[in-house]
Structure 1
């Protein structure tokens, strides 16, 4: 009975998103004053010769008016970074300086789940006043508000880059880490290499946070990364695609497959012969839209209708299977301590995949506090787990409090009933 209630909550939550997916969300204070879309906004375009700049170098900056009345100043930074093919690229982060900033100025990088490739879906666009924002961005403003209320400087990177790659290996980590570098170099924030840095993300943002913390020792060892809190991270993309197909979150299948299809020529070449004409058109269409729109279109959809072979055979196509395997989390040992949270009844991210990720990280010497929540699913965990996660993260970025060695796993009935 409890499991049915938990899963029923997920269906209701997605139904609400589907209902709201039609109209655009526009800041009421500046209705009719929408900023230009990223694909036509010159700010997002790389300047000539950017490749020669160091990763994290700021190429452009501008102040912005925010979509909500946050107690903070905000800017966008265009910076040099590295893409999925380890080539120079650019992306944008939105940085926030709270009015009540702590004297020691900890910096937290918030990876917002985007889970889509449409250029209008990036957080940097949705955080601007008047933007026709995606529900994914506006649905995560509470986490941003909490961070600012704590007096933390915040960086919100567009970790999917200009091409909206999702969910690929390495690139989310490269782009988030270079966003942190850019923030530490942006004079108005008053930061330096010595400032404590934390990471936070959930779902697709948890996937990006996982890559960020795992790559930091090799890609950005100079950063003073003191802790990462992330949940429902999609450690095994193959398992997530199987789990969501045919259910309320079946849009995840389309977002993932269409991104791989557009990102890797060899994947497209292997998939195209098995796609129906409608399937090929859908792959191209999804590249232009946000997750909430795809949720509305693919609610309880079964993706086998777009292929001439079963979905398990599609996912087993060698080029696709290879890139999915490369995206698996838990293969590198982070140096910073971790707080991982996961719903046992999660209908998007199978709990077993997160269990295995934690086991692998612990075997590599990571320090992990792992919280499993029995009476929760994917959507409710956003709210139930955040108090405990932010409490733990505050201990890491607000002080030099020691972290217990080793790993611990705790299964609770509900974090609503056992707040931290």
Structure 2
């Protein structure tokens, strides 16, 4: 959720930076985020009405959405993307001191340094280091690690989308049905919920590809949506889902 606030603050800063950047305070703007980037963009879209009501986005594109972080942890564990779990847990612990304390208490000493490697290396190394590993084996309480109140409090605050407001700008969301990082059912449910709250969403579910390839194959429709908004073409005033 804090990433959403930071994103909105960055737009505020850009719009008041004209003396340095020549960006007009009347500029039109949109967001586009994929996978981890969609976390910040979706949170920003939810928070905008209350956190930054003076901002008026003409559109937002969200790809490879991650509506429920705990579901992602269970989905990617022991798989190709298990490293994202270690990266995410370390990142959240960095932002929540109470979670950091709990993490330090339950990491197995002999493998604690290995688990914290993502703090000092890049994502590619994180992926290769943890590929096919069981993340829960790094904790002395195993799978119960994520069930502790301190972990659930953080995940409920910053790991579940749809709880902090209804996006007011038109959205284009695209997702691979076979996404192996975040189950498509979570995105389906989020879209249904936000639409019931009055959001305007064009949602494309892609039957071909998975999380990584969708970032490329879905970009054409994403760019078309963005281009249309900048060209002044009104976005549809209702929700629509296409499975292609």
Q: Please give the TM-score of this superposition, normalised by the length of structure 2.
A: 0.93
What residue is the counterpart of 1:416 in the other structure? none
Deviations 1:200-251 (A, max 9, x none): 0100001111011111122222223110001112110001111111001001
Q: Secondary structure at the match of 1:192?
A: coil
Q: Which residue among 232, 240, 245 is the counterpart of 2:64?
A: 232
Does the 8 Å CA contact 1:177/1:212 hold for their aligned counterparts?
yes
Query: CA offset at residue 189 of structure 1?
Result: 4.0
Q: Distance in 1 between matches of 2:14 and 2:146?
A: 38
Asked if 1:355 corresponds to 2:197, the answer is no
Aligned residues: 241
Structure with higher Rg: it is 1
Q: Which residue among 314, 332, 344 is the counterpart of 2:145?
A: 314
Q: Which residue among 285, 303, 306 is the counterpart of 2:117?
A: 285
What residue is the counterpart of 1:257 in the other structure? 89
Q: Please give the TM-score of this superposition, normalised by the length of structure 1.
A: 0.55
Whose helix fraction is larger, Structure 1's or Structure 2's? Answer: 2
What residue is the counterpart of 2:214 in the other structure? 381
Does the 8 Å CA contact 1:227/1:337 hold for their aligned counterparts?
yes
Asked if 1:175 corresponds to 2:6, the answer is yes
Q: Distance in 2 between matches of 1:320 and 1:185?
A: 38
Q: Secondary structure at the match of 1:229?
A: strand
What residue is the counterpart of 1:326 in the other structure? 157
Q: Distance in 1 between matches of 2:110 and 2:75?
A: 23
Asked if 1:197 corresponds to 2:29, the answer is yes
Does the 8 Å CA contact 1:330/1:361 hold for their aligned counterparts?
yes
Does the 8 Å CA contact 2:115/2:138 hold for their aligned counterparts?
no
Q: Distance in 2 between matches of 1:365 and 1:278?
A: 51
Residue pairs, 1:76-87, within 5 angstroms: none
What residue is the counterpart of 1:246 in the other structure? 78
Asked if 1:186 corresponds to 2:17, the answer is yes
Q: Distance in 2 between matches of 1:343 and 1:224?
A: 29
Consecutive unaligned residues of structure 2, counting only runs of 5 or more, are none
Q: Distance in 1 between matches of 2:238 and 2:193?
A: 13
Q: Distance in 2 between matches of 1:281 and 1:391?
A: 45
Q: Secondary structure at the match of 1:249?
A: coil
Q: Secondary structure at the match of 1:199?
A: strand
Q: Secondary structure at the match of 1:278?
A: helix
Q: Distance in 2 between matches of 1:284 and 1:299?
A: 15
Q: Which has the higher contact order (CA 8 A, sep 6+)?
A: 2
Q: Which runs of 4+ in 1 moved over 3 A?
A: 188-193
Does the 8 Å CA contact 1:243/1:348 hold for their aligned counterparts?
yes
Consecutive unaligned residues of structure 1, counting only runs of 5 or more, are 1-168, 413-420
Q: Secondary structure at the match of 2:242?
A: strand
Query: Residues 264 and 282 from structure 1, CA distance in 2 versus in 1: closer, same or farther, beyond 3 angstroms?
Result: farther
What residue is the counterpart of 1:392 in the other structure? 225
Query: CA offset at residue 262 of structure 1?
Result: 2.8
Query: CA offset at residue 286 of structure 1?
Result: 1.9
Q: Distance in 2 between matches of 1:350 and 1:304?
A: 20
Which stretch shifts more, 332-341 or 263-272?
263-272
Residue pairs, 1:213-232, within 5 angstroms: 213-232=45-64
Q: Distance in 2 between matches of 1:248 and 1:186?
A: 42
Asked if 1:296 corresponds to 2:123, the answer is no
Q: Distance in 2 between matches of 1:221 and 1:228?
A: 16
What residue is the counterpart of 1:409 in the other structure? 241
Q: Distance in 1 between matches of 2:110 and 2:183?
A: 29
Q: Secondary structure at the match of 1:225?
A: coil
